[in-house]
Amino acid sequence: MGRILAIDYGTRRTGIAVSDPLQIIAGGLTTLDTRELERWLAEYVPANDVTTIVLGKPTQMNGQPSETWRFVEPLAARLRRAFPEVEVAFYDERFTSVIAHRTMIDSGIGKMARRDKALVDKISATIILQSYMDSRQ
């Protein structure tokens, strides 16, 4: 059983989370400059036995795709071409940023640290991944 990697795509920054090899626990991995994402994945995916990549599906409250979808959908196609042996899936990312901020508050992270958008993106990717794994059980 390989790892599952989740991506919280943003036009500037992208949060990354990864599961343990048994696909039980999600952990925040990093936040990247989005321009570096595909190069970083080209190194990370084969070296870490990633079997599934989950992309946060940007959706509006009414269920329609949000503006970011126009970047995420082509990214998924490129990932499928680059990693034909890896499943590429989508998972609704609505409310992940709100949940990430709430998680930061509840965990006692200070106000200044909560302004760190890179940390929010990494936590959002972790929430997407854990939610995806929970939905499969």
- Report pTM: 0.87
Query: Which residues are bridge partners to 14 per DSSP?
Result: 32
CATH class for the domain made up of 3-135: alpha beta
Give yes or no for residue 95 having a pLDDT over 90. Answer: no
Contact in structure between 37 and 6 (CB atoms under 8 Å) = no
Q: Which of 44, 49, 53 is nearest to 75 (CA)?
A: 53
Contact in structure between 68 and 10 (CB atoms under 8 Å) = yes
pLDDT of residue 64: 79
**Segments making up each domain of the chain, as ranges:** 3-135
pLDDT tens track for 97-136: 656 556 656 666 666 665 667 777 888 899 999 999 998 8
Which pLDDT band holds residue 68 (cuts at 50, 70, 90)? confident
pLDDT tens track for 51-67: 999 999 887 778 777 78
- CA distance between the termini of the chain: 15
